[in-house]
């Protein structure tokens, strides 16, 4: 497998993991689970608890995304912290870039155009990301099972599943999309799906490349010259030196 294909596969797996995490968090908030959690504590501590809880919950999805991408790295798992750091950095970078772009569009585009974009763009992106999430999870399963056939068929299967669900249960699909009904939630969802996935895949692939080319590449010494090998260059002691001991 080429490094480019490896990168895009890890990115798709990260997009599925991060997007599912953000959607699950939004759904939990919508049905009242977060409020039920706050009810476990005295009302006077809610303000202080919220200042701690919100950052933790926001970091939970990128952290899980980075850990999953690190686990799926080939030929062996990468350090988890590399995936988490790349995911968080990518998410923040896309959030900042999207904020700057949104401010520029608000200042330059007329109000009717902004209204149309505000009504159609978020849901269109979310519905499109649904296929990415399904294909990414199938791809992750193929990587875990070491199944080239499942990896190759992941996105065609996702397209078929998405088309069938859209025809048979369109209401369920729209209801799932409407969980992300606020602009800030949509922005965070897209930042994790794209920015977090790209950042995690890039960071993990850099770590894998370092492990393959560094002095401790899987326990093997990497030779930079093409000359004849001398005793002791393989990481083992030569026979005469062993006898002298």
- List the domain range (segments joined by +) for residue 77: 3-218
Q: For tokens 């706050």, what's the residue?
A: 38
Question: 95-120, pLDDT tens digit by residue?
Answer: 998 888 878 877 887 878 777 777 77
- Asked if pLDDT for residue 245 goes beyond 60, the answer is no
229 within a domain of the structure (yes/no): no
Let me know if residue 228 belongs to a domain: no
CA 87 to chain centre: 6
**pLDDT tens per residue, range 188-217:** 998 999 999 999 999 998 887 776 544 444
Domain-embedded: residue 235: no
Q: What angle do CA 136, 24, 148 make, to 5 degrees?
A: 15
Report if residue 173 sits inside a domain. Answer: yes
Is residue 238 in some structural domain? Answer: no
For the segment 32-78, what is each residue's pLDDT rounded down to a tens digit? 888 888 888 888 887 888 888 888 888 999 999 999 999 998 777 88
What three-state secondary structure class fits 233? coil
In a domain, 232, yes or no: no
Per residue in 122-165, pLDDT (tens digit) is: 667 767 788 899 999 999 999 999 888 999 999 999 989 888 88
Cα(208)–Cα(223) distance, rounded to whole angstroms?
18
pLDDT interval class at 222 (50, 70, 90): very low
Q: Report the share of the chain in percent with pLDDT over 90.
A: 33
Answer yes or no: is 213 within a domain.
yes
Confidence of residue 228 (pLDDT cuts 50, 70, 90): low
Stated pTM of the model: 0.77
The tally of domains found in the chain comes to 1
Residues 6+ apart with CB under 8 A from 19: 129, 132, 133, 136, 189, 192, 193
Structure tokens at 195: 């920015």
Angle subtended at Cα 229 by Cα 225 and Cα 235, rounded to the nearest 5 degrees: 100
64 and 21 Cβ atoms separated by less than 8 Å:
yes
- Beta-carbon-side half-sphere exposure of residue 178 (alpha carbons within 13 Å): 7
Average pLDDT over residues 70-88: 88
In a domain, 240, yes or no: no
Q: What is the pLDDT of residue 170?
A: 80
């Amino acid at each position: 497998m080429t490094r480019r294909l490896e990168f895009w596969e890890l990115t798709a797996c990260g997009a599925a993991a991060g997007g599912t995490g953000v959607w699950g968090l939004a759904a939990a908030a919508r049905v009242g689970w977060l409020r039920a959690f706050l009810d476990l504590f005295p009302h006077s501590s809610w303000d202080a608890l919220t200042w701690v809880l919100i950052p933790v919950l926001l970091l939970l999805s990128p952290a899980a995304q980075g850990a999953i991408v690190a686990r799926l790295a080939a030929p062996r798992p990468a350090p988890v912290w590399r995936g988490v750091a790349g995911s968080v950095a990518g998410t923040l970078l896309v959030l900042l870039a999207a904020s700057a772009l949104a401010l520029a569009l608000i200042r330059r585009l007329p109000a009717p155009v902004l209204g149309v974009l505000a009504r159609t763009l978020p849901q269109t992106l979310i519905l499109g990301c649904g296929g990415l999430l399904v294909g990414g999870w199938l791809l992750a399963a193929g990587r875990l099972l070491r199944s080239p056939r499942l990896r190759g068929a992941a996105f065609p299967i996702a397209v078929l599943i998405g088309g069938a669900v859209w025809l048979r249960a369109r209401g369920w699909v729209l209801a799932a999309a409407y969980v992300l009904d606020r602009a800030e939630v949509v922005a965070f969802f897209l930042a994790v799906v794209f920015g977090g996935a790209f950042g995690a895949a890039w960071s993990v692939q850099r770590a894998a490349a370092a492990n393959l080319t560094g002095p401790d590449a899987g326990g093997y010494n990497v030779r930079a010259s093409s000359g004849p090998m001398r005793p002791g260059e393989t990481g083992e002691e030569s026979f005469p030196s062993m006898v002298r001991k």
